[in-house]
Amino acid sequence: MTTRVRRTIAVIEIVGGALGVFTSTLFVVQSGLGGTLVALIVCVMLAVFGLHILAGTMLWFRPERGLKLSIAAQLLVLPRVISPVASLYFVSGLNATVGFEYWWDATSPMFPPGAHGSGIWTDWLVGSFVQFRFMTGGPPRTAIGVNLAAVVLLVLLMRARRTTPTTEVIQREGTRAPFV
């Protein structure tokens, strides 16, 4: 992995994490909500986005350590699963999700009884986003998708991890890592 690619991934993670922390904090301040559940949700959001900030910073300054953290951070934003009961997913930095969904509705006046549908959906975003909700209204929906931007970043990170000499090898041979 070249220095430019590595630092681009680091910037995506740092900026995405910072935007996530900002929007999470803004949500709490504007909502006026309090209580244990809100505090727990905010802690989870801050931990996820904090991991992205830490991973990006480590990838920039200490690539041999940052690779593992960056892989973990990208694995968090990789899947998108929505069930009839709840949905939870994170976006930090880039999102290009493609997925398949199936929905049905037997009670809505907008659809005939027993109406259903399925299809492929896409979702594109530059920034940060968290969705955690319990499905209480609208037609029941089941969907599964994958963030293609995270797939690309994971492939780049995994290839760099395979070709990157470990710190011990660098110290023993007295050479520098080729991507630093």
User: 90-147 pLDDT, tens per residue?
Assistant: 888 888 888 888 876 655 555 555 566 788 878 888 888 777 777 666 667 788 899 9
Domain span holding position 22? 3-173
List the beta bridge partners of residue 128. 92
- Average of per-residue pLDDT across 66-86: 88
pLDDT of residue 116: 67
Determine the angle formed by the axes of helices 3-31 and 36-61, rounding to 10 degrees: 160
- Residue 75 located in a structural domain: yes
- pTM here? 0.75
Q: Which two three-digit tokens encode residue 71? A: 């892989």
- Residue 143 located in a structural domain: yes
- Residue 180 located in a structural domain: no
- Residue 178 located in a structural domain: no
- Residue 156 located in a structural domain: yes
8 has a pLDDT exceeding 60: yes
CA 70, distance to chain mean position in Å, is: 11
pLDDT of residue 95: 86
- As for how many domains the chain has, the answer is 1
Give tens-digit pLDDT for 42-68: 788 888 899 999 999 999 998 888 999
pLDDT of residue 180: 47
Nearest CA-CA partner of 79 in 105, 100, 59: 100
Q: Rounded to 5 degrees, what angle do the CA atoms 22, 123, 139 make?
A: 100
- Residue 179 located in a structural domain: no
